[in-house]
Amino acid sequence: MKLDPFYLIVDSADWIARLVPLGVRLVQLRIKNKAPAQLRAEIRTAKAICALNDCQLIVNDYWQLAIEEACAFVHLGQEDLEMADLGAIRAAGLKLGLSTHDDAELETAKAAKPDYIALGPIYPTILKQMKWSPQGPERLRTWKAHVGDLPLVAIGGLNVDRIEGVLSQGADSAAVVTDITLNPDPEARTRQWLAATAPWRTVEMPLGE
């Protein structure tokens, strides 16, 4: 499986309606603290917009709702994974992305046989408090050696100027929240991300070059 090199993460279907039609091919709906009915409505709307725009939707955290709404992909952190029913996720045909932050989490994630692994935070992030220090982009190369052909996602503190640095270290995809959502012009910033990741979308870049 291949992931698009630009992985947008937003917290509403409104954001998806605004940014996905610009050409985004991979988006995560990461909603915190909403009632189940609202969550379901957001997922349903996001799914419809993504289908119209040939964009892969990944639902964060809410794997049961993702199954019920016939979504294709979920992302889980390690704590989410402890509570999740992997058998049910697989039986529903969902693809699975998993977060990792250290060696032990990498082993746990690999054992779950996910469809991609994310490493973060690569740089300091302002989105959420994290107990891990920034990993630095060089750590991606170590992770890539461990995950092999499994797609690797870099996340945390990424911006347009840092894309090249993470993709050239072995990440297959660069995930981003605030560089876009807090930008004064999120549409323009999204276009910059699309342009900056374009070379990685079309060309296989061997590690070390």
Ligand X SMILES: Cc1nc(C(=O)O)sc1CCOP(=O)(O)O
Ligand Y SMILES: Cc1ncc(COP(=O)(O)OP(=O)(O)O)c(N)n1
Residue nearest to ligand X (CB): 120
x-marked contacts with ligand Y along 36-75 as a string, rule CB under 6 A: ------------------------xx-------------x
Q: Which is nearer to Mg ion, 61 or 172 (CB)?
A: 61
* Terminal-residue alpha carbon distance, the chain: 22
Among 77, 139, 183, 191, binds ligand Y (CB under 6 A): 77
Binding of Mg ion by 80 (CB under 5 A):
yes
Q: Is 23 in the site for Mg ion (CB under 5 A)?
A: no
Q: Which of 22, 77, 108, 115 binds Mg ion (CB under 5 A)?
A: 77
Burial class of residue 76 in the structure, from the number of CB atoms within 10 Å of its CB (0-12 exposed, 13-18 middle, 19+ buried):
buried
Q: Give the Cβ contact number of residue 74 at 10 Å.
A: 28
Q: Name which of 173 and 192 has its Cβ closer to Mg ion.
A: 173
Task: Give the binding site for ligand Y (CB under 6 A).
Answer: 28, 30, 60-61, 75, 77, 80, 97, 99, 118, 120, 128, 153, 155, 175
